[in-house]
Structure 1
Amino acid sequence: MVYTEALPLTPAEIDARYAAVKSVAQEAARLGMDYYLRRQSLAVMHKGDDMQDVVSIADKEIETFIRAELTKRFPEDGFLGEEGGADDLDARCIWVIDPIDGTSCFVNGLHNWCVSIGLLVAGEPLLGAIADPNHDELFHGCRGRGAFVNDTPLKVSSAQDVREGVLGVGTTHRRGKENFIPFLQGLLNEGGMFLRNGSGALMTAYVAAGRLIGYYETDLKSWDCLAGLVLLKEAGGRVNDFFRNDGLLHGNPCLVACPGVYDQVARLIGPSLDQD
């Protein structure tokens, strides 16, 4: 990936984008809730041969809405979306969008879905917003300015061992699934416990909020976590080298955790976490 050489954004440019990402994420979440309440009438399709990887008309129309709203405000910015693909990835600013993270939960009437929008500036995550309309929560943050759920500051857990909290986990039918069961066995052997809620963005936000002590996914896409990574770092958490080997476009294993358990969880995962 080659990024356009440019001066950093001015404080005013950051302010404008931070305000926009919060308002657009909330508007998109309200649109998502309208679809959710009439989900039985939505057309749902499967992606490729993976029957668990689904997309609805809501995903596509919400991403179209998000792109249109941000383009009106920032026509020079690029985009990477789960449904719409990439546009102008040489731009200084790139919006990374998941219109509905947790689509399987969405179409099956479970409350574990959200809208996730993050912003890369010169290849570095700068800000993000994760809107959860089912629980009336907006997780948001900006590098150097902190992270919040609604107006409450976020801080990761103080846990020092996996026995002291719950770890979020996830896997797919893509690469890396063979590492999942051995990891769970190791986690249980050390007295840990886990949950999987179906939304990588929400679980990353929950780590930032101290609700989970960490979150491990065997293969995660950037639109599932980029906004959450901003929150996580601002809340004092740690993350593996997710963006190596063009992780922005192709994804990678992902581990986010509070500092007290990060090394323990990374050891349980083993070399697959950061291997090429």
Structure 2
Amino acid sequence: MTKLVIFDLDGTLLNTVEDLGNATNYALKTLGYPQREIEEYKILCGRGIANLLKDALPEDARTDEVRARMANLFFPYYREHINDCTVPYDGIIPMLDRLAAEGIRFALASNKYQEGAERLIGRFFGKYGFATILGQREGYPIKPDPAIVDQILADNPDISRDEVVYVGDSNVDMMTGNNARVRTIGVTWGFRSREELAAHNPWKLIDTPADLAEAILGPLGDRVERLVRRASAIMRQKNFEIHTKGGDVANLCTSADIGVQHFLYDGLSALIPGSGFLGEEEDMTDMDHDYVWIVDPIDGTANFARGIAECAISVGLKHGGDIVLGIVYNPFREELFRAEKGKGAYLNGKRIHVSGRSFKASLFCCALCVYKKEYAQICNDIIMEVYPHCSDVRRFGSAALELCYLANGTIELFFEYRLMPWDYAAASLIVEEAGGVLTGRGGSKLIYDRPLLVVGANTRENHDKLCSIVTSHTSENPYD
């Protein structure tokens, strides 16, 4: 998943060729050398100003003395006329707006001299707050040496190399990205040809800024994950208000729950226009759609309100009758569980599976129906029947996380007497894709529009044994 995009400048974000060409022609003319056509500068640019000035001269004039005189003329002229004709390419601003709206970070790696790079970014792209702006600096190698990308990564230590995309328009850029071992995209609207870019085997070749945004944002799962991670910033804030629902001191809601849900509602609705939304807070129920987001902004609010780290954001996407995408993220432990239908389950990008433990060796995760305490005795009876035949009992205080722990082999058995759809929707897919079994009472198929009794296990054998015990203690619809 992409978190940082490193852009080249000239020929990628900005069409600078006319101002660069005019400044170079001014120096050539002043020294009595023939001027070049502006189109020629698309080939001459890309390897730094020193090489541009050298290559613009006739071959018999390329001495150090002449190049120094060229530079003395070029820089004052270019500084004064740096953006006379320079403009962003069509579609660049909407592309950057779209990436910024989804939390993508930007950096610049250019062979333009540092002062010029900073001026142009400030002039045209200042609102985006580029994390790092690096141009040609004395004592530092120029592209295609990967040192410039390495420095940007050092300046952004929270981002790994595989979360970076490098974007440029020349062979130099393709070599830079490849040398730095990051995914490299060649854009064809700039100074060089598609054939030149393709010769260096970039990750992708892109023809329009709109297509570039699509390539960077990636599949829907990546976009939802970025949104969830951004929403977690609201959970990390120190000050929040705590309220009870209906006066029930066991059923809490915080201002952070409300803030996360509003943030996710806006972001998720934009990802799939016309989608429905079912959220725990503020009676946000709109299920009559082909696609429906099912969201618990903070599962484990009681833990969250007390500073206990077992709490998470849970986002499931229902298509028809099935959950097709599930993400459960605990920002305090930096654990993100994710699954897409038919694609496996993952924890922080690594494939996870349920354990193979027997019923006797299993950890049993269950609760006493905290919001419907009249059923506590039934839950206790189930626990007491299971307990002698399993390893031990656990309770973490977040159903979504407990189900994820079933998915990654931490526990093997799960039972809750009454869960709401937002408690289990996302995690149900994660369990399924990890090889586990999760059903309603009596092995019935999960549904996502009402409360359910939920039974889960690592294997079908263990599930059926637990399910039989649960069914023997419960009536047909104990959760209404």
TM-score class, shorter-chain normalisation, is 0.7 to 0.9
Q: Is the 8 A contact 1:187 1:193 kept in 2?
A: no
SS of aligned partner of 1:212: coil
Separation of aligned partners in 2, 1:112 and 1:30? 16
1:255 aligns with: 455
The letter of the residue matching 1:262 is H
CA contact (8 A) 2:364 2:390 kept: no
Distance 1:236 1:273 in 2: 27
Q: 2:226 aligns with which of 23, 28, 41?
A: 23
Contact 1:240 1:274 (8 Å CA) reproduced: no
In the alignment, does 2:356 pair up with 1:158? Answer: yes
Q: Of 456, 461, 466, which residue of structure 2 is paired with 1:265?
A: 466
SS at match of 1:130: strand
Tell me the residue number matched to 1:120: 318
1:12-58: CA deviations, max 9, x gaps? 9xx74322221112112232122xxx1xx422111124211100111
| Structure 2 CA distance for partners of 1:166 and 1:246, relative to 1, 3 Å | closer
* Structure showing greater Rg: 2
1:258 maps to a residue whose letter is N
Q: Determine which of 149, 173, 193 is the counterpart of 2:392.
A: 193
Structure 2: which 5+ runs fail to align?
1-214
The amino acid that maps onto 2:388 is: N
After TM superposition, give the deviation of residue 61 of structure 1 in Å: 0.8
| Residue 369 (structure 2) pairs with residue 169 (structure 1) | no
Mark the CA change 1:244 to 1:46 in structure 2 (over 3 Å): closer, same or farther: farther
Q: Distance in 1 between matches of 2:246 and 2:475?
A: 27
Structure 1 length-normalised TM? 0.86
Letter in 2 for 1:188: Y
Question: Within 5 A, what are the aligned runs for 1:1-276?
Answer: 16-34=219-237, 38=238, 41-161=239-359, 163-170=360-367, 171-174=369-372, 176-241=375-440, 247-259=447-459, 260-271=461-472, 275-276=476-477
Kindly provide the CA deviation profile for residues 120-160 of structure 1, in whole angstroms up to 9, marking residues without a partner as x.
00121111100111111110000101110011111011012
In 1, Cα distance between the equivalents of 2:223 and 2:283? 21
**Cα distance, 1:262–1:110 mapped onto 2, change above 3 Å:** same
Find the aligned partners of 1:92 and 1:168 in 2 and give their Cα distance: 33
**Inter-CA distance 63–265: structure 2 relative to 1 (3 Å threshold):** same
Measured in 1, the distance between the counterparts of 2:362 and 2:470 equals 18
State the shift of 1:116 in Å. 0.3
Compared CA separation, residues 179 and 71, structure 1 to 2 (3 A): same
CA distance in 1 between partners of 2:453 and 2:421 (Å): 10
Name 1:6's counterpart in structure 2: none
Q: How far has the Cα of 1:274 moved from its partner?
A: 7.6
C-alpha contact 1:20 1:70 (8 A) present in aligned 2:
no
Q: Which residue of 1 aligns with 2:140?
A: none
Once residues 222 and 349 of structure 2 are traced to their aligned partners in structure 1, the CA distance between those partners, rounded to angstroms, is: 14
Distance 1:73 1:222, change over 3 A: same
Structure 1 runs (4+) deviating above 6 angstroms are 242-246
- SS of aligned partner of 2:410: coil
State the distance in 1 between where 2:326 and 2:297 align. Answer: 13
Q: Given that residues 234 and 259 in structure 2 are in contact (C-alpha distance below 8 angstroms), is that contact kept between their aligned partners in structure 1?
A: no
After superposition, the C-alpha distances for 1:210-264 in whole angstroms (9 at most, x for unaligned) are 1110211110111011000001111111111379799523211111111142122
Larger CA deviation: 126-135 vs 252-261: 252-261
Q: CA 1:251/1:61 → structure 2, altered by over 3 Å: closer, same or farther?
A: same
CA distance in 2, matches of 1:167, 1:267: 15
Identity over aligned residues, as a percent?
25
For the 8 Å contact 2:362–2:390, the answer to whether it is kept is no
Cα distance in 1 for residues equivalent to 2:431 and 2:322: 14
In 2, are the aligned partners of 1:159 and 1:261 still within 8 Å (CA)? Answer: no
Structure-1 separation of matches of 2:474 and 2:405: 21
Higher strand share: 1
Higher deviation after alignment, 73-82 or 166-175: 166-175
Indicate the SS of the match to 1:153: strand
- Cα gap change, 1:244/1:274 in structure 2, threshold over 3 Å: closer, same or farther? farther
> CA contact under 8 A between 1:114 and 1:130: conserved in structure 2?
yes
Q: Secondary structure at the match of 1:232?
A: helix
The answer as to whether partners of 1:176 and 1:219 remain within 8 angstroms in 2 is no
